[in-house]
Amino acid sequence: MKRLLIFTFILTMALSGCKKKEPEQPQDEGPAFEVIGPLGNVVESGREFVFHTFGPSATLGLKIRNLKDNPIRLYTMLVESSTGTGDEFEVCFGNCYPRMDIGVPYPLDGPYVLDGGATTPDGALHYVNYDSQEVRYRVKIYEVDESGEPTGEEFEFIYRYEP
């Protein structure tokens, strides 16, 4: 009986040490989205887009591709302007707004939700300067979580009009 207990104990210890370790769940690594420029190429954060005209012919159309399987929530924001305002800087991100106020997230009615693996349609995201004076706008596009808090995932660019 004693031998049986010792054998059972050794066998139990040996088998418990041989358990297959479950793989850890992969972290949701990598960027949540990428920005596609007017020529269809992926653009890096920090890019400067220079226009020598203003109005509709100076429309900067961008697309966003969701690199995740789940929906993401996005806003765009005017971070700074060389004129101090965005009074003549139009943005369309789902909805269109004839001006952008510095520090205000657009769309105003809540984040733009982009399904997993999807890309924004043509015209869904664009910026237009109507100011005839030289101007430089710094803009960001960023992701928020379900509660509206920024996730830290963001893309910045410069839109510059140079007469």
Q: What share of the chain is helix, strand, coil (3-state, %, to 5)?
A: 10, 45, 45
Q: Residue 24: inside a domain, yes or no?
A: no
**pLDDT at residue 28, rounded to an integer:** 56
DSSP code string of 72-95: EEEEEEEEEETTS--TTEEEEESE
Residues of the chain with pLDDT under 70: 1-29
Q: Residue 8: inside a domain, yes or no?
A: no
**pLDDT at residue 32, rounded to an integer:** 93
Q: Residue 9: inside a domain, yes or no?
A: no
**pLDDT at residue 9, rounded to an integer:** 47
Query: The pTM is what?
Result: 0.80
Q: Residue 23: inside a domain, yes or no?
A: no
**pLDDT at residue 4, rounded to an integer:** 42
In total, how many domains does the chain have?
A: 1
Quick one: which H or E segment has residue 39? none
Q: Strands 105-106, 135-144: parallel, antiparallel or unpaired by DSSP?
A: unpaired
Q: Residue 106: inside a domain, yes or no?
A: yes
**pLDDT at residue 5, rounded to an integer:** 41
Q: Residue 7: inside a domain, yes or no?
A: no
Q: Residue 5: inside a domain, yes or no?
A: no
Q: Residue 16: inside a domain, yes or no?
A: no
Cis peptide before 107 (omega within 30 of 0): yes
111: CATH: 2.60.40.10
Domain that holds residue 117: 31-161
**pLDDT at residue 22, rounded to an integer:** 46
